[in-house]
Amino acid sequence: MSGPGVLHALEDIGRVVQNALCFNPRNWSRDNVDDALVGSPIEAVRQFFALLEERQISFVLVGGIALLYYVEGRNTQDLDLVVATEDLKKLPEVEIVEQDLYFARGKFRGLQVDFLLTTNPLFRRVRQEYVTQAHLLDREVPIATVEGLLLLKLYALPSLYRQGNFGRVNVYESDIAALVYRYEPEMAPLLDIVAEYVGEGDVTSLRQIVAEIEERTRRFKRG
């Protein structure tokens, strides 16, 4: 069997495999960045981190790459950062292709970079209060804590439900479940924080979702 459709599928598989290698921070130590990754998107990530440091831009790494720092199994193909809107002006090398009040998307040497902007009060809070340091690509990188990632995932879920975006809902709930299973964080205080930034009906739904996830993880651990 052959044809353009098969070729496209094979290219997609190749990108998935490459992304699984290149965008997994577990592969970002000096010993693991081997010749197979040279010239790959991991080089753009390295250069982008260096640029942020050079311009003295305060940021925190979030999204799929941050999640992979804590748990396995997630595939991603972009870089997600929380930054101040005004700091985007310090990065003329980044081509901004989309931007609204709370989000921006850019391109840097073929790398997609999604920015969560601190005009959003929850994003700002995560950058200020839920940050730790990770040694990645031979440098210290500020990365969201487990609790910070959970706050962002919980905050995003109601909007994804309203959009009917089942694929991303499933991914985000799986991300939450993976973090809850591995780290057993106290979820009630996190839900109380999210309640400050979403509607009452959304909070009720989130509490039910979290209760189901916690019960599922308990059953899994017992079984």
pLDDT the model gives residue 77: 72
pLDDT the model gives residue 27: 61
Q: What is the rounded distance in angstroms from the CA atom of residue 128 to the CA atom of residue 219?
A: 35
pLDDT the model gives residue 74: 64
pLDDT the model gives residue 222: 85
pLDDT the model gives residue 5: 38
pLDDT the model gives residue 139: 86
Phi, psi at residue 59, to the nearest 5°?
A: -150, 170
Q: Rounded to two decimals, what is the model's pTM?
A: 0.84
- The rounded average pLDDT for each run of 10 residues, N- to C-terminus, in the chain (223 residues) is 37 46 59 50 85 96 90 77 97 97 94 96 98 88 97 97 93 95 97 97 97 94 82
pLDDT the model gives residue 18: 55
DSSP line for the chain: --SHHHHHHHHHHHHHHHHHHHT-GGG-STTT--GGGTTSHHHHHHHHHHHHHHTT---EEEHHHHHHHHSS-----EEEEEE-GGGGGG-TTSEEEEE-SSEEEEEETTEEEEEEETTSHHHHHHHHHSEEEEEETTEEEEEE-HHHHHHHHHHHHHHHHHHT-HHHHHHHHHHHHHHHHHH---HHHHHHHHTTTS-HHHHHHHHHHHHHHHHHHHHHHH-
pLDDT the model gives residue 36: 45
pLDDT the model gives residue 73: 64
Walk me through the domains of the chain, giving residue ranges and CATH numbers: 1-144 (3.30.460.10), 145-223 (no CATH)
